[in-house]
Amino acid sequence: MTPLIYSTLIISLGIGTTLTFASTHWYLAWMGIEINTLAIIPLMTQSHSPRATEATTKYFFAQATASATLLFAATSNAFFTGSWDILQTNNPLTYTLMTLALAMKIGLAPLHSWMPEVMQGLTLLTGLILSTWQKLAPFCLIYQIQPHSPNLFMALGLLSIVAGGWGGFNQVQLRKILAYSSIAHLGWMVLILSFSPPLTLVAFSTYLMMTFSLFYSFMMTKTTHINSLSTSWAKIPTLTALTPLILLSLGGLPPLTGFLPKWMILQELTKQDLALVAVLAALFSLFSLYFYLRLSYTMTLTMPPNNPAGTLPWRLNPSHNTLPP
């Protein structure tokens, strides 16, 4: 891909997101999301591998379905209310359809099954864009229509926390693990959205910062599989020492950065007399913590026999390891 085409696609991603941010009209907001989708599709296929083509096709079908549903719901809402204003979404049917379409756009459970498969076929750089930038525009719309149905958002949030944690249990591919991590974190944000929108923005900002750091560390070490994590210390030791801290922060362990948003969310849920929801969210997050700890353990406490230190001649030759007579 030439630099001119690549720059054009990156600029289109920025224009699409900015258009959605600045819109109060449903049609313009939908148009911004579509510009984003059409701009990232060439980026997803730039490796020209069959796996990338498959991932791009799955992404296109999922996003096209969500976009068609969103446009239908916006048109129906304009028919019932006489307004295209995003804040005038008062019809229960159109509101539910919009929420589910946007949930499919960003990968919330139970409409999340496309995301791990798509992430697996992408490069780490394109996966970073899909996990961060591509979620900004749909999440902005969810943020604006959120006050109407807290029960729907709580159900989506709890399901996403469970699906994100449970799905990453038996994964060995880092890109799939990162996809399930994204699903689980989005569940926390949606869970508290109806009660404290500023707290949702805090959690979202923290997620963006930690996810960017984790993707960057994997790109620097060229790591895509859990087995290769144990040899990453030989490539960039300093970065490998910091990566487990990012992983544990994503898991929400104190006193790291990722602990604070989750603690504040649990505290706010308790204030809203939703102690049971808070307990369930905390328990389900242990699923995600398991694979974060697994990755941290692999990076810091394992030494496979095929690493550089394990293949030195003095270790392979037994005669060099014995004392002279």
Could you tell me which of 137, 131, 150 has the C-alpha nearest to residue 33? 137
- Is residue 48 one of the residues assigned to a domain? no
pLDDT band for position 81 (cuts 50, 70, 90): confident
Specify the 3-state DSSP secondary structure of 173: strand
Element (H, E) at 230: none
- Is residue 290 one of the residues assigned to a domain? yes
pLDDT band for position 177 (cuts 50, 70, 90): very high
CB 21 within 8 A of CB 137: yes
- Is residue 269 one of the residues assigned to a domain? yes
- Is residue 218 one of the residues assigned to a domain? yes
Which pTM was predicted?
0.88
Mean pLDDT value across residues 227-231? 79
- Is residue 250 one of the residues assigned to a domain? yes
Q: Which two tokens stand for residue 52?
A: 């990338």
CA distance 214 to 208: 10
- Is residue 140 one of the residues assigned to a domain? no
**Tally of structural domains, the chain:** 1
Residue 173 backbone class (left: φ over 0; alpha: ψ -120 to 50; beta: rest): beta
Does 36 have pLDDT greater than 70? Answer: yes
Mean pLDDT value across residues 118-136? 92
CA-based Rg of the chain, rounded to a whole angstrom? Answer: 22
- Is residue 245 one of the residues assigned to a domain? yes
% the chain with pLDDT above 90: 53
What are the beta bridge partners of residue 25?
85
Does 268 have pLDDT greater than 90? Answer: yes
Does 307 have pLDDT greater than 70? Answer: no
- Kindly give the interhelix angle for 26-44 and 50-81, rounded to the nearest 10 degrees: 180
pLDDT at position 252 is 87
**226 is in which domain, residue-wise?**
149-308
- Name the average pLDDT for the chain: 87
- Is residue 12 one of the residues assigned to a domain? no
Does 212 have pLDDT greater than 60? Answer: yes
